[in-house]
């Protein structure tokens, strides 16, 4: 039986209100440093893309940086950087975010900039064609001309899932990107970029009353449009193993990634967290089960990692999602042997349970990483915005370290027992010819 540990809840203050136009606002004051993080999160991501428009959510994220109704192209860059700040945006499976870190005296500047593009980005043929080219180049750099490009986050979903929202290439095909029109972009904005479909979050050195007045000043007159009805993206679990392979001409070594469905993080958070912790029990550090067995003892892989979600975001994803294990193998590595060993270790954990201190050590490391991440004002703003959007509870950020520590030995054992081969989807990377190896084997702006 592993020793239980006590990790307390954090006490970041959270103030919330909703504007008459439907925009939800989360404020997290913290005067420890004269810095603020500002984030706007829209409830639209890769899963929301229509068929025939793969990559459109990411493309539209680019368009949101190309000027707005009152600001010319590159003005957002100039105003943030001129105040000593940094900014960016990113596209995820279930949301798209835009964010700035600034000195606290530049708060109003950030709010003005975000409110201005919430009213409407500058959607022109020139901007669209330019950003299509930028996204295509990003795909070339990050996927087509990079070893293991898209592995496994683009390659594994179509093996595991059947529906277009869950299985398609979120980076997009060149054909779909090139066929996008300004009318498509305008419709996408009208449907998904409504203030009723967004959460604004500000964390850091702020006065709550003054910030509320500034939010009302800049966002209060944004057109009220309701959030669209979110489609049902659910799919049945696998009942038989799925396994596919592909050749990567640039990959020097074989690799394999496997995934199993996990409980819905919104409706069964406690059950879901058991898998979040299990992934770390299996792969976090040299003392973890799969690193010790596969890397150090058997030497059948050169590396192994485990995480939740195809983009590695355990606390910012909706159902359906999965626990992933991925490994790179030495030349001539045997993937069948690796998968069989993973099954053996899962069976051993499900049968014999954890050893003393194993769970406590893992939970302490996880809580340490989480607390460190949440210490940054921008990270806090982003996570609170997503938790408010997906769970209706920005304050869940304060609960997460404690909830991780509350996962029990019994829950870990039950979760391990559920990772059976018949529920597994795997994708294998076969090294390209000429690499001397045998075997069966995203992106931000600016």
| Whether 173 and 284 share a structural domain | no
pLDDT tens profile 362-375 = 999 999 999 999 99
| Whether 181 and 253 share a structural domain | no
pLDDT tens profile 220-268 = 999 999 899 999 999 999 999 999 999 999 999 999 999 999 999 999 9
Q: What is the CATH number of the domain that holds 139?
A: 3.30.830.10
Give CA 145 to chain center in angstroms: 23
CA distance 258 to 305: 11
Average pLDDT of the chain is 94
| Whether 252 and 194 share a structural domain | no
- Give me the pLDDT at residue 438, please: 36
- Give me the pLDDT at residue 446, please: 32
Q: Is residue 226 part of a domain?
A: no
CB 159 within 8 A of CB 192: no
pLDDT tens profile 165-211 = 999 999 999 999 999 999 999 999 999 999 999 999 999 999 999 99
Q: How many independent structural domains does the chain possess?
A: 2
CB 288 within 8 A of CB 282: yes
Which of residues 184, 219, 254 is at a domain's end?
219
| Whether 169 and 36 share a structural domain | yes
- E-only strand ranges, 68-140: 86-91, 96-103
Q: Is residue 225 part of a domain?
A: no
Q: Is residue 234 part of a domain?
A: no
Q: Is residue 283 part of a domain?
A: yes
β-bridge mates for residue 350, sequence order:
none
Sheet holding 35-42, edge to edge: 15-18, 24-29, 198-204, 35-42, 96-103, 86-91
Sheet holding 322-328, edge to edge: 242-248, 425-431, 255-261, 322-328, 303-308
Residue 14 scores a pLDDT above 50: yes
CA distance 385 to 395: 10
Host domain of residue 54: 15-219
- Alpha-carbon separation of residue 243 from 94, 186, 331 (angstroms): 26, 40, 21
Cα four-point dihedral sign 50, 233, 228, 271: negative
């Amino acid at each position: 039986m592993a020793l239980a540990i006590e990790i307390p809840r954090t006490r970041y203050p959270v103030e919330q209100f909703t504007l008459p136009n439907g925009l939800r606002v989360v404020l997290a004051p913290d005067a420890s440093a004269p810095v603020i993080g500002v984030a706007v999160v829209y409830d639209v991501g890769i899963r929301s893309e229509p068929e025939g428009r793969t990559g459109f959510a990411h493309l539209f994220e680019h368009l949101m940086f190309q000027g707005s109704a009152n600001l010319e192209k590159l003005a957002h860059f100039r105003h943030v950087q001129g105040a000593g700040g940094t900014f960016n945006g990113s596209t995820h499976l279930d949301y798209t975010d835009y964010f700035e870190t600034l000195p606290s005296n530049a708060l109003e500047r950030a709010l003005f900039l975000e409110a201005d593009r919430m009213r409407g980005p500058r959607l022109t043929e020139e901007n669209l064609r330019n950003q299509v080219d930028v996204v295509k180049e990003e795909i070339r750099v990050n996927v087509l001309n990079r070893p293991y490009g898209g592995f496994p986050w683009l390659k594994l979903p179509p093996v595991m899932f059947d529906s277009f929202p869950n299985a398609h290439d979120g980076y997009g095909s060149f054909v779909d990107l090139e066929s996008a029109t300004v009318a498509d972009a305008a419709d996408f904005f009208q449907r998904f970029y409504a203030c009723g479909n967004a959460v604004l979050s500000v964390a850091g050195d702020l006065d709550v009353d003054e910030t509320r007045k500034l939010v009302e000043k800049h966002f209060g007159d944004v057109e009220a449009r309701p959030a669209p009805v979110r489609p049902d993206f659910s799919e049945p679990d696998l009942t038989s193993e799925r396994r596919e392979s592909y050749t990567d001409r640039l990959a020097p070594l074989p690799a394999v990634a496997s995934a199993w469905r996990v409980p819905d993080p919104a409706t069964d958070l406690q059950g879901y967290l058991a898998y979040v912790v299990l992934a770390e029990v299996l792969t976090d550090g040299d003392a973890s089960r799969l690193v010790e067995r596969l890397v150090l003892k058997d030497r059948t892989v050169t590396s192994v990692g485990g995480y939740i979600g195809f983009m590695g975001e355990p606390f910012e994803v909706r159902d359906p999602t999965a626990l992933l294990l991925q490994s790179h193998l030495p030349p001539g590595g045997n993937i069948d042997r690796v998968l069989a060993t993973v099954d053996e270790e899962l069976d051993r954990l499900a049968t014999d349970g954890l050893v003393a201190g194993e769970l406590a050590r893992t939970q302490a490391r996880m809580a340490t990483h989480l607390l460190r991440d949440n210490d940054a004002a921008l990270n806090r703003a982003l996570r609170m915005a997503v938790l408010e959007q997906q769970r209706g509870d920005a304050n869940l950020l304060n609960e997460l370290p404690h909830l991780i520590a509350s996962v029990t030995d019994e829950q870990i054992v039950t979760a391990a027992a559920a990772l059976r081969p018949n529920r597994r989807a795997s994708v294998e990377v076969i090294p390209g010819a000429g690499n001397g190896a045998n075997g069966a084997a995203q992106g931000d702006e600016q």
